[in-house]
Structure 1
Amino acid sequence: MKIIFWLIACFGCVVQSQIIDLDDSFSVDPEDDTPWLVEFYAPWCGHCKRLEPIYHQVYLDLEKSHIKVAKLDATRHTTVSAKYEVQGFPTILFIQGDRVFKHQGDRTKEAITEFAKRALGPTIKVISNGAKYFDIRSEHADSSFFLYIGAQQGLSELMTKFAAVTDKLAVHSYYYSCERKILPPDFVKHLQHDPTLVVFKDREWYEYEPGESGVTRSSVEAFVARERHLAFPKLAGGGGLSDMSDLRKKIVVIVVNDADKESVKLNSRMKDIATMMSTKYRRDFHAHFQFAWMDDPETMNTITMTTLKLPALIVFDTETQYYYLPEFNLVDITYNSFSKFLNEIRDGSAPSFGGTGFLQRVKRIAYDIWIAVYVSYLFFIF
């Protein structure tokens, strides 16, 4: 009898430890502080099936946290998916009261877990001493983070605006605050304001400038949105590109196939030039362009409605949906030809493609139908 009760107890533990299956009854009160990580999926979605074991690992990582890990069949429970404006699969959302964040990074255990932890907060973490400051610098050597520098007692106007902005952009970067006195004197002497806000990235730092209107929420938000990306990051497909849509810049994307041994040297040269333009010549290009690279051509093929020959260089305007392609052969790419191409885009003399006009929308519909038929055909024959 004891064995039976033990088996029942074990079974109950297993059941309770599974990812929660949600339905149309799922509803979060705006005042409810319970954090949810929810995957919206479709049974027929191949990407969703590939995510299953990864998402289970995410659940195991977050099992001891306060975050409830769940999933919902968006094709059956359309009320919930419509409420959260889910349009593609899989979509992963962090939901806590009226706070909703969408995961737009890599679909890896590490990336999704980090996304959930960032969203949970606290959004702004306090650095209490100099040793911790150096630990943070080392920890984020390959990413970006923002640091408010000023008194920790009493809220300055800058801290109030910074806190409001970080609550909105919680999942997009790392945010800290500290007293001025704990920082290295050689660093502090270069600061122009007190209190101040600084971003560390690409082994450099840049200070927030209030402007003629003083400290405003819009200027702080613009600074955080503009500087949260590295100079030349790797994009995780369409989600990464979408994540840059608030920059109000044109996105310069280098698309490579790292598995193609014949293109290794050209891939490396293109990346080296882009790195130089985005860092050494930041003043010339930063205001108008965000550089990035990806090793998955699918997103750019969809934008151009073609099959790009790799490596490829494409500049995409997320606001107008126009894109630009260089007229020179990439084999001959140099800093001069690259910068000339970008300057022509900036002054409006470079030819553009795409957009949102009537003919382009018709072409898009036809392309989407063709892709759907082609995918269905492949599914049928295999």
Structure 2
Amino acid sequence: MAKTAGVALFVGLLAVSVSMEVIELNETFVPFRLHEQRKDQIWLVYFYAPWCHLCRELQPLWEEVEHELSDWAKEEPGENVMREEVTVIHVGKMDAIHFSSVASDFGVHSYPTIKLIKNNLAFSYHGPYVKERIVEFAQRVSGPTVRIFDGITTLGDAPGCGEPFFVYIGGESPLKEKFKDTATEKVVFSCFYMAPESVFAQSKSLPVLPAVIVVKDRSYYPYNELEDGALARWVENSRFPSFVSLDVFTLNQLAVSGKTLVLALLTRDDMAEQRSKRLLALVKEVAGNHKASYDRDVQFGSMDGADHINSLLMSRLVIPCLVLLNTTTMEYFVPEQDPTSPQGFLLLLSKFRAKTLQAYGGNGMYYFVKRIFYDAYMVMASVFQQSVLLGCFLYGTPVTVLVLICCGRLWMRPPSHRHQQAALDKEAVPKRAGDEADCVEASAGISEQGLKESCGDSEEEEDACVGETVGFEAEDASTYEEKKKEETVQTQVQNGLKCSDQHQTNEEVMRIASVQDKPVAEKKND
């Protein structure tokens, strides 16, 4: 039965693949691809969540992407080198919540996520959800990681996916291996080529070969390992043209580049439209005329609106305006007045890079803590914007439970240690007083009994002994009273003295007294 179901599934998927329709994938997708006849298939898969609002909006777009790739595969190969390398791209989608284990195997942790699966690798798409950008991504990544220039005499004739792109020139070398490794990692962003030295026959020759160059802005810029560091880092920072129109994805990628961003924030407001046009023209002019000087560490661009830049800077900028941002320190500067000439613009940029202007922001501990609270606030705000009831349930429930737990702890809190100690002391005072009275009575009884034993058994001897004792007490009455007072004070100080200790002390006193009185009794007998 299982074998029959597997065959039926295979036939169904194969039929859908031939018709090039969007395939709804399930947990059988992985074993299906591992089959010997299908291991070389290339899949463009859209992972979604049923409850995701953005995912639902992208469903019609995904149908358009499938139709575009289907038409592209049916075209006859032409002179373009990339067309000779076309392979069929199967388009599918998967519910990443229902089949979470499969999605996790492909590294899906957010929704929506688009991945192109080729061989044993899954390449993630980073960019706006636009049909043209997604199709271009699929066409580029589905082909060879590094393409070969064949029959090309100048860089101007180079086929490709648009500028910028990267070219390795020369023979075998360690740099070539680094270039291949970097291409495997960065092919999701740019195209990579290898070319013979003849490509530069009609242009200025490179000083050193082998070499790696980036072709953009109708020119090329060589890679210098001493100045640019790691090749992958240089490719990441050089894959943008001198001037670029930013979206939220490009802004987030440039925010970690370490470059200085010079952005013209524009508005569509009619009253400020002329100012936006002047700022845009000025930034483009400086970027075009000074691209060679600022290519390595400055990125020029423009952006519609200020929502995304405000989120990055945790600020509220008034647009249109010019923003200078150091992505290394996250310090930014907004001039009060727009520069009116390229010279004034360059002077302002030089002062900012030299840190002679009063900048705002930073990446210290204060801004680190502020970023945590700001991100938490933005997440909560986005949830409440989508659904007030969902926000109340997600955030109100744990807060309510926490408040109830704290109130319960306060109401049922036991007395503090100080109150417990005070209560114990109050209970101990009467007990100690009672113990002291018992000890005094016991001591008195022991003294009386010892006195009788020391005076003898006969009535005459007892009367004589008592008389002597009374005489002794009368003679030393004042001394006795003083001792009694001292004993009272000592008793009050030593409230903790146990009755057993006092009893033992009284026995020792009586024993000493009997020893002292024994010579007197023997003398009387004589």
- CA distance in 2 between counterparts of 1:354 and 1:77 reads 42
Please say if residues 278 and 286 of structure 1, whose CA atoms lie closer than 8 Å, have aligned partners that are also in contact.
no
Q: Which has the higher contact order (CA 8 A, sep 6+)?
A: 1
After superposition, the Cα gap between the structure-2 partners of 1:351 and 1:307, relative to the gap in structure 1 and judged at 3 Å, is closer
> Cα deviations across residues 157-191 of structure 1 (Å, max 9, x unaligned)?
33222122111111221222222225443x0x432
After superposition, the Cα gap between the structure-2 partners of 1:148 and 1:45, relative to the gap in structure 1 and judged at 3 Å, is same
Q: Name 2:166's counterpart in structure 1.
A: 146
- CA distance in 2 between counterparts of 1:18 and 1:178 reads 38
State whether structure 2 residue 372 is matched by structure 1 residue 352: no
Q: Name 2:96's counterpart in structure 1.
A: 74
Please say if residues 326 and 341 of structure 1, whose CA atoms lie closer than 8 Å, have aligned partners that are also in contact.
no
Please say if residues 16 and 23 of structure 2, whose CA atoms lie closer than 8 Å, have aligned partners that are also in contact.
no
After superposition, the Cα gap between the structure-2 partners of 1:226 and 1:119, relative to the gap in structure 1 and judged at 3 Å, is same
Q: Name 1:126's counterpart in structure 2.
A: 148
Q: Name 1:3's counterpart in structure 2.
A: none
The amino acid that maps onto 2:218 is: R
- CA distance in 2 between counterparts of 1:195 and 1:208 reads 11
Which of 45, 65, 71 does residue 38 from structure 1 map onto? 45
Alignment of 1:293-372 (within 5 A): 293-295=302-304, 297-305=306-314, 308-316=317-325, 318=327, 322-330=330-338, 334-336=341-343, 338-348=345-355, 349-353=357-361, 355=363, 356-372=367-383
User: Which is further off, 117-126 or 351-360?
Assistant: 351-360
Q: Name 2:253's counterpart in structure 1.
A: 243
Normalized per residue, the structure richer in helix is 2
The amino acid that maps onto 2:231 is: V
The amino acid that maps onto 1:277 is: V
Q: Name 2:476's counterpart in structure 1.
A: none
After superposition, the Cα gap between the structure-2 partners of 1:208 and 1:303, relative to the gap in structure 1 and judged at 3 Å, is closer
Which of 35, 47, 50 does residue 57 from structure 2 map onto? 50
Please say if residues 165 and 190 of structure 2, whose CA atoms lie closer than 8 Å, have aligned partners that are also in contact.
yes
After superposition, the Cα gap between the structure-2 partners of 1:351 and 1:246, relative to the gap in structure 1 and judged at 3 Å, is closer
- CA distance in 2 between counterparts of 1:164 and 1:42 reads 33
Aligned length: 356
Q: 1:337 deviation in Å?
A: 5.0
TM-score for the superposition, normalised by structure 2: 0.58
Q: 1:202 deviation in Å?
A: 0.8
Q: 1:47 deviation in Å?
A: 3.1
Normalized per residue, the structure richer in strand is 1
Q: What secondary structure sits across from 2:111 in the alignment?
A: coil
- CA distance in 2 between counterparts of 1:313 and 1:23 reads 49
- CA distance in 2 between counterparts of 1:337 and 1:308 reads 22
TM-score for the superposition, normalised by structure 1: 0.77
Q: Name 2:220's counterpart in structure 1.
A: 205
Larger Rg: 2
- CA distance in 1 between counterparts of 2:96 and 2:347 reads 47
Runs of 4+ in structure 1 deviating by more than 6 angstroms, as ranges, are none
Q: Name 1:4's counterpart in structure 2.
A: none
Which of 4, 22, 30 does residue 19 from structure 1 map onto? 22
Q: What secondary structure sits across from 1:107 in the alignment?
A: coil
Q: 1:115 deviation in Å?
A: 0.5
Identity %: 26
- CA distance in 1 between counterparts of 2:239 and 2:381 reads 37
The amino acid that maps onto 1:181 is: S
Q: What secondary structure sits across from 1:172 in the alignment?
A: coil
The amino acid that maps onto 1:36 is: W
After superposition, the Cα gap between the structure-2 partners of 1:367 and 1:176, relative to the gap in structure 1 and judged at 3 Å, is closer
RMSD between aligned residues = 3.7
Q: 1:296 deviation in Å?
A: 5.2
Which of 356, 370, 384 does residue 373 from structure 1 map onto? 384
Which of 274, 278, 281 does residue 269 from structure 1 map onto? 278
Q: 1:220 deviation in Å?
A: 2.6
Which of 226, 230, 236 does residue 225 from structure 1 map onto? 236
